[in-house]
Every structure is written in structure tokens, then in C-alpha cells.
Amino acid sequence: LPMQPETICSISVVIPVFQEEANLAALCDQLWPVLEGLPLDVEVIFVDDGSSDGSFAMLREIADTRAGVRVISFRRNSGQTAAIQAGIDAATHDVIVPLDADLQNDPEDIPRLLDKLRQGWDVVSGWRKHRMDAVVRRNFLSRMANRMISRVTGVALHDYGCSLKAYRSSVVKGVRLYGEMHRFLPLYAAMQGAKVTE
């Protein structure tokens, strides 16, 4: 059956940050134009994961100068999964998009993820087709692992490791993540009945 297109009114971008002072300015330069071009209410939730560099000070400055920016701060480093968990818990909008702070994800891809959601999908997972870190691309084990996970779970994704994803909030709100589980959030969503694509 053709899927019903569904309206999206708002988006929460969740950005885990650990020792990223060198990247935050460039990240913002890339991110704001993309977000300003979206016909949506936007909130950006930075989660400072106990950085000891200038990241937190920079984030506070960003939050002071831009509407819709919130900063969560961990007292100590707890890992990317915990940071994303906190961002999901704090998010209030229709769609949640986790984004890395280290410039490895291109914010320009966000509108393309949203297009997929509008076609009726609940989760869109990024797929790094032309990975910069060629060593990993050639990693046979990483390819085998992806294939095995797909076979076992019935959710066929090429690239679980890509952090850039888009979720309808309803399929991830209430999730409890631990370990390195953020990579497998699409599987969790699929188990809740979500329609997952990449």
C-alpha cells in the first residue's frame, strides 16, 4: 500500500559535544543556514558531555545569541550514547535528528532526511556512501557485521555507524539507551513498529 504522507511541523537537532571547541564555529556556520531554510519550528539541543576545553563556554555564548538553542551539560564525560539519550529526553518537537559536532555529518543532508519522513517513514538512517575514512570502508568485518545485524533483525541498513539520522519523536521518546546502543536506535524503533529506511 502507498504510505500516507504525514505533516512535520517542528524539528529537534541533538548534538553531543565532547572537546569540540575547534569545530563548533564551523559547525554553526554550516548548520544555521540549513535550519533557517526549513519551514519548521527548530530547536537545537547541544549536550556538552563533560568537555574540559572551551566547548561549554562557546555553547553558552551560542545559546545566548540564538533563539531555540538549549545547552545540557554533564558534570563528567559519560559517552556519546548517554549524551544522545539526554538530548532525546529533552527534545520537544515532531522529529529528532542527532548530528555529530565534529563536522563528519553534513547538515545539508537534513532536508533530504525530512523528505523521506514526509513520504511516510518513521526513521531515516544516514548511509555514508563515500566515506572519508577509507580504512573503515574497506573494513571487511564492519561490512560483515552490518550484514549479520540486518539478517538477524530484519532491518536492512548498510551503515549502522552513521550518526546522522531522523526519527519521528513518537518512535524514540521513552527509549533507554546504554552502552553503544545509539548505533542501533533504528532497530529499537523497528521493534516498536516503526517503518525504517535509509
Which residues of this chain interact with Mg ion, rule CB under 5 A? 102, 104
Q: How far is the CB of 99 from ligand UDP (least distance, A)?
A: 8
Site for ligand UDP contains 198 (CB under 6 A): no
User: Is 87 a residue that touches ligand UDP (CB under 6 A)?
Assistant: no
Binding test (CB under 6 A) with ligand UDP, winner from 10, 73, 77, 146:
77
Contacts of ligand UDP in 135-194 (CB under 6 A): none
> Binding residues for ligand UDP, how many (CB under 6 A)?
13
Please choose, out of 13-21, 107-115, 137-145, 184-192, the segment that lies near ligand UDP by the rule CB under 6 A. 13-21
Residues 6+ apart with CB under 8 A from 76: 50
Supply the DSSP symbol for 4.
P
Distance CA 116, CA 10 (A): 15
Considering only 89, 100, 106, 109, the residue that binds ligand UDP (CB under 6 A) is 100
Report what 79 binds from ligand UDP, Mg ion, none; CB cut-off 5-8 Å by kind.
ligand UDP
Residue with cell 550484514: 147
Amino acid identity of residue 67, one-letter, is: A
- Would residue 77 be called left, alpha or beta, if left means φ above 0 and alpha means ψ between -120 and 50 degrees? beta
80 makes contact, choosing from ligand UDP, Mg ion, none, with CB < 5 to 8 Å by partner type, with ligand UDP
What is the DSSP secondary-structure string of 84-150? HHHHHHH--SSEEEE--SSS-S-GGGHHHHHHHHHTT-SEEE---TT-S-HHHHT-HHHHHHHHHHH
| Dihedral angle over CA of 16, 116, 176, 51, nearest 10 | 0
Figure out which of the listed residues 30, 104, 150, 192 binds ligand UDP, where binding follows CB under 6 A.
104
Please give the single-letter amino acid code of residue 184: F
The reply to whether 98 sits near ligand UDP by the rule CB under 6 A is: no
Q: Among 43, 49, 122, 159, which residue sits at the site for ligand UDP (rule: CB under 6 A)?
A: 49
User: Smallest gap, in angstroms, from Cβ of residue 100 to Mg ion?
Assistant: 5
**CA 122 – CA 49 distance, rounded (Å):** 28
Q: Which stretch binds ligand UDP (CB under 6 A): 12-20, 64-72, 123-131, 144-152?
A: 12-20
Cα dihedral across residues 185, 94, 124, 135: positive or negative: negative
Residues found near ligand UDP in the complex (CB under 6 A): 16-18, 20, 49, 77, 79-80, 83, 100-102, 104
